Structure 1
Amino acid sequence: MAKSTRRPGDPFKAAEAVFKRTAKPAPEPSRAPVAAAARETVTLKIDHDVLDHYQADGPGWQERINAALRHAAGLGGTKDVGKRPEELDASNDD
Structure 2
Amino acid sequence: MSEAEIDEMAASDPDHPGLDDTVWAGLDEPPSGKEAISIKLDRDVLSFFRQEGRGYQTRINAVLRHYMQAKERAG
Q: Normalising by structure 1, what TM-score?
A: 0.41
Q: Which structure has more helix as a fraction of its residues?
A: 2
Letter aligned with residue 52 of structure 1: S
1:49 equivalenced with 2:31 (yes/no): no
User: Which consecutive residues of structure 2, in runs of 5 or more, have no partner in the other structure?
Assistant: 1-20, 71-75
Higher gyration radius (CA)? 1
Find the counterpart in structure 1 of residue 55 from structure 2: 60
Q: CA RMSD in A?
A: 2.2
- Aligned equivalents of 2:49 and 2:34: distance in 1? 19
Aligned residue pairs, count: 44
**Greater relative contact order: 1 or 2 (C-alpha under 8 angstroms, separation 6 or more)?**
1
User: Which consecutive residues of structure 1, in runs of 5 or more, have no partner in the other structure?
Assistant: 1-25, 76-94
Greater than 3 Å deviation, 4+ residue runs: none
Q: Normalising by structure 2, what TM-score?
A: 0.50
CA shift for structure 1 position 39: 0.4
Letter aligned with residue 40 of structure 1: E
